[in-house]
Amino acid sequence: MSGLQEAFYIIAIIFMGIMFILLVALVTAVFVIRNKINRIERQIENRINMVTNIAERGGEVAAAVVGAAARKAKRAVSHK
């Protein structure tokens, strides 16, 4: 084997090693980013559900207040 051929083999092995390490790092980064995005999505969904529940409770309270006021008005009108 000539010196030039050995040099190209060594360079190729080093290049393949570096590319393999970069590929593993890239795949790892993709999975880490994906997990972070999923976690943020779950947090947003939880907060939206909390706001929705608060709005539903507010609607229930408002309906109860309006219903009570309507019953009072109906009684007041019927007693006159």
Q: Which residues contact 8 (CB under 8 A, 6 or more apart)?
A: none
pLDDT in tens, 9-27: 999 999 999 999 999 999 9
Residues 32 and 34: their CA atoms lie apart, in Å, by 5
Res 36: pLDDT: 97
Greater model confidence, 40 or 71? 40
Helices (H), 1-80: 3-79
Query: Among residues of the chain, what percentage have pLDDT more than 90?
Result: 55
